[in-house]
Amino acid sequence: MSDKQRVGQLFMAPVTATGMTTAEQNAISDNDAGSVILTGRSSAGVQSTKSLTGRVQAAAPTVGGKKVGLLVSADQEGGQVQVLNGPGFSVIPSAMAQGGWPTSKLQTSAGTWASQLRSAGVDLDLAPVVDVVPPRLQNTNAPIGMLMRNYGTDASTVARQSSAFVRGMEQAGELTTLKHFPSLGQASGNTDVTAGVTDTATQRTGDYLTTYESGIKAGAQFIMAALAVYQRIDPTQQGAFSSTVLTGMIRDELKFNGVIISDDLGNAAQVRAVPTGDRAVRFIAAGGNLVLTVNPATVAPMTSAVLDKMGGDATFRSQVEQSVKRVLTAKEQAGALSCS
């Protein structure tokens, strides 16, 4: 791979779930993006989605005469967060509802949902949410509790149920993502639509980490980094830009060897004040691997900024190389490395 192709592997670009736009296709092909996220809502069903993901794969970069497959992802949690619907896709209950099921039922159901995603050409589910929302915040926690995205209101329940979801998905060949590290369960707002979101409660240690420990043991290959500022962990940086969070906690303390993916760095209000290219550079420099953006216009300036930084910073270049290996390893495990 050229440097441009290597950097492209570290980006997840958006594709509208009802049909890829010209701007989205260009963002992928012009920048050699290695992954995509299906955005919005679709009720077209499995076969139509499979047709879409086939067109998406046609934009995958070519290296040595062979296509390097794109990793295709979607937010398929259930409840109010289910991007793909229609014929062939189950109506997935909210995580809160799933939290009340026997683990055997949840694991079996997750395997079914995973098979549907695989049939549609989707390799990575950006789920489950493993944030712990305290009971007192269930009805006021904007990003998780109010949307019933949590599996319960205590760490043991969340760990048990979310890990059953992971096992079912992974056993059916679907990659999964534990989110949103370290937690949005006690955050003051939704980082997608609100700036200045700060968590004043979450500490570097606590039982909320058991949900990640359990999910990693269950086989989850991705962890999503949150954008909130964690005052009691690193008050100087948003979580996704903090080496304390990404390297210190996820790598060194949790011993996680998979892919660290960002929450949206394209349109999120929480990072809007940060120059576009700097968002990608700061995330990778802190220990992140895969930059997610839901704005196709941000892919070019982000990839350019990373390439520029590589040119004069040997340490950063090494971080890019390590990240590329992690992403390609995950693709290989999902059977998504080649699409030719």
Q: What is the distance between the alpha carbons of residues 148 and 326, in angstroms, rounded to a whole number?
A: 32
Point out the least confidently predicted range of 27-36, 61-70, 157-166, 319-328.
61-70
* Angle subtended at Cα 292 by Cα 291 and Cα 293, rounded to the nearest 5 degrees: 120
Q: Which helix (H) or strand (E) holds 294?
A: none
- What pLDDT sits at residue 340? 53
- What pLDDT sits at residue 339? 61
Amino acid letter, residue 305: A
> How many percent of the chain have pLDDT more than 90?
96
Q: What is the distance between the alpha carbons of residues 109 and 93, in angstroms, rounded to a whole number?
A: 11
**How confident is the model over 37-66, as pLDDT tens digits?**
999 999 999 999 999 999 999 999 999 888
Amino acid letter, residue 180: H
Cβ burial, residue 140 (10 Å; 0-12/13-18/19+): exposed
Query: Buried (b) or exposed (e) across 16-43, using 16+ Cβ within 10 A?
Result: bbbebeeebbebbeebbbbbbbbbeebe
Question: pTM for the whole thing?
Answer: 0.97
Q: Looking at the domain 20-334, which fold is it?
A: TIM Barrel (3.20.20)
Cβ-contact 70, 325 below 8 angstroms:
no
**How confident is the model over 142-182, as pLDDT tens digits?**
999 999 999 999 999 999 999 999 999 999 999 999 999 99
Point out the least confidently predicted range of 188-192, 240-244, 273-277.
188-192
The domain ranges of the chain are: 20-334
